[in-house]
Amino acid sequence: MRLFVLATAVINLARPAESYPRRVLRPKDNVGEILKGARGRDEVVKKRYTIHTEIEPGSQGAGTELAMDVVEATNSAVTPDTKIKDEKGNEFTVGNGGGGLLLYTLLVTDTDTAEGSDTFSILALNPETDDMHGIVEKRGPSGERVPYKIKQTKGENQGKAMAQEEMDLPIPDWHCDVGQDVLEQEDIREDEETLERRLTEDEHDHGHQHEDQNLSTMEALTKTLRGIKVNPLNKPRRLEAAYNFEVELFIEIDNALISAMGSMNNAVNYVNTLVTAANTVFEKEIDTHLRVTDIVVSTLYDAATSTSQALDIMRTTYAGVHPNVDLHHALLGGIHGGGIAYIGVVCRSDYGFGLTSGLSGTFQSMGETVLWDMLAFMHEIGHNFGSKHTNEVAHYDPPIDTCGLGQCPATPGYGWSTIMSVCQGCPGAYGNIMYSFGGDYDGSGDVNDILNWPANPTLVANYDASHYSVDPNREAQRMFLHIFSRAPTGCVALSSPAPLLTPAPTLSPTSSHGIALYDSSLGAPKCSSVTTSCFSGSLLNSRGGIGGISEPNGSNTLDACTDGSTGNYHVDESVDSIKVSAVGGNIQPGAAVKIDAKVWAYSTTADFVDFFYANDATNPQWQLISTLNPSAAGANDVSAQYTLGNGSLQAVRVVIRYNGAASPCPGGAYDDVDDLAFVVGAGGGTPTAPSGPVTTPAPTKKPTAQPTKRPTRFPTPLPTPKPITTTCGAVGTYCDSSKPNNCCSGSCQSKGRYSNTCK
């Protein structure tokens, strides 16, 4: 099989765009030949270009040049492993050459640049002829969208890359249809009640698993500026690769789509174009890559007269059939324009369905209708990722916009609403919708805190008082949290070979101050270079596999110590991050070092935070630094200080425990133990004894509040290292029933979490 290279605009999450080599191409330069030459030199970085085209007569800006910043889509949605079943029933994979399939190479918008952020580009390169065609949408002088068809063919126009403006795109008659009811289990609820949920979108409510409610598909638009951070362009966001999660798609297409495309080859390339272009937003803002595992020609929906009927057929036929499929979606040329999808159903083989119909673009002559098809597809996938429409108060309170309530802005504007909106029905139509989910996680703290999700700067710039969008970054956050909730099951794990250096579910951005990466050989996050500080980012967030959000790579310890498994995220105890900082200078022997930890506490009297250090992270012998009580129930910033000893790779450990004695591995049902390893530079320091107490007494009184029910006894703990000697509990003091030896009498009577007493 022959592969075509697709050029697509993608967001670089590894480092700022200006740190990558960029080549400027003039209209006469053949893009396909230059891209091949770069591959021939075995260049390992992404190919980034500023492509200039000559604007044809009759178009806006005729006689001048149109420039676009693009980057090669190195991880296209369709891969050599994608399985194809064509209209004749032939089955083959893209990589084995079956069916004579020729896959184009894609270039997409480089949204890391100021120019790229105001443009959306999809360019397809034929790897055999080096011809190029595609669509570029620029922002006009009055803020309007101006689409240009791009074409470069040898033997035409002296081989120049040309741009021709498209005029007055008729917006397809598109709507989100009504769906059906389904019984949905609310997994996170303590009473585990089963609730009736309507699942499909528009008037249709969708069920929500894990209470993931607000995830949207493509963008977030305008916002009232309520103190939310704006993410500046060129800010590095993640490490080395573009995403940490992957959702696999089983795609059906109908003969109407193949007929419109002219061939099965073009239809497969069109699927790849839509999904790969959509990934420019999904990867950047939702940290998720969409990968197409199957493309199957289907006649199932030919007789359907509505999208809701087609969805019923899909679920009746496929529910439970493909247990390893993350989402099942149909891209149809038939039926009427519109889409339908279940909400919050990633990795659910019983309801992970949706479809987009009435597709009107073509691969062989890409125009602005391709962009609309992509937006419609992303809208429906956004429902699957957990978002309803942005005007639904029950879902977003306050609503992100009011377009669906018949309250359009007084003045049309460019790019002020999201994909999950229905603002194409307002004056300005399709131009109202911008290619963004409204924001993305900045890596600086708790993913549940909306303040850590900076708003898209272009959306902010487009906002004015007549536009109603409010805090659109809520869409991106909710979508991400839905995917994040699936991570413990492994269903959204990266395929092999993974594009990341580590499969950690959430990585923090690189920085000069040292951001840790998960080290699978150590079993914990590690900073690999000498810096002034080392920060775990969000790699330690939560505790083990507790309810709500699970800890990435839990338990994150250098030894066999494991976390307690009882409780729920940010109801019960957890260590959420650790930072080690030299007090002046670099981290080296003899330096004074401060440990800062963010912990979540249940009680100010029964919870304790212990700080430990080890001079050898590969064979840790933990030494206690200090112990303290949290100052409040809920989020706490706690710290300790000690002096670094000798050792090239050292570590610190932070423990939060419910009652019991200070130990590197307490083993309680609510206890969280997290480590952070870091490289230590050369130095002549001499190890000194840590400051702070080495013992801590048992608590003497119980808290007054009991936010959640507690088990009457703790599970049997795993074997733990010998605890550090501490004072024992006297008769009548509180104790951990899983460790009766913490009582001087050796007997702890269990009567519930807050009524265990030494006797």
383 marked ligand binding residue: yes
Find the helix packing angle between 264-285 and 368-384, rounded to 10°: 60
379 marked ligand binding residue: yes
The DSSP H or E segment spanning 220 is none
**Structure tokens of 162?**
């040309």
Q: Facing residues of 582 across strands? A: 593
190 a catalytic residue? no
Round to whole Å and give the CA distance between 216 and 480: 9
Fill in the amino acid letter for 554.
Answer: G
Residue linked to tokens 């109908």 = 254
DSSP letter assigned to residue 20: S
| Contact assessment for residue 213 and residue 478, using Cβ atoms and an 8 Å cutoff | yes
**Structure tokens of 512?**
């000069």
How distant is the alpha carbon of residue 561 from its chain centre?
29
Phi-psi region of 460 (alpha: psi -120 to 50; beta: other; left: phi over 0): alpha
Listed residue (234, 238, 270) closest to 251, CA to CA: 270
How distant is the alpha carbon of residue 150 from its chain centre?
32
Start-to-end CA span in the chain (Å): 76
How many beta carbons lie within 10 A of that of residue 18, not counting itself? 11
| Contact assessment for residue 578 and residue 625, using Cβ atoms and an 8 Å cutoff | no
Round to whole Å and give the CA distance between 49 and 661: 60
Residue linked to tokens 């409010």 = 470
| Contact assessment for residue 105 and residue 3, using Cβ atoms and an 8 Å cutoff | yes
Determine phi and psi for 24, rounding to 5 degrees: -95, 125
Determine phi and psi for 312, rounding to 5 degrees: -60, -40
Listed residue (630, 606, 612) closest to 698, CA to CA: 606
| Active-site residue, selected from the candidate residues 54, 184, 246, 380 | 380
Round to whole Å and give the CA distance between 753 and 730: 18
Listed residue (226, 291, 753, 223) closest to 465, CA to CA: 223
The DSSP H or E segment spanning 486 is helix 473-486
Fill in the amino acid letter for 368.
Answer: E
Round to whole Å and give the CA distance between 336 and 33: 41
Binding-site members for Zn(2+) are 379, 383, 389
Binding-site members are 379, 383, 389
Q: Which residues does the annotation mark as catalytic?
A: 380
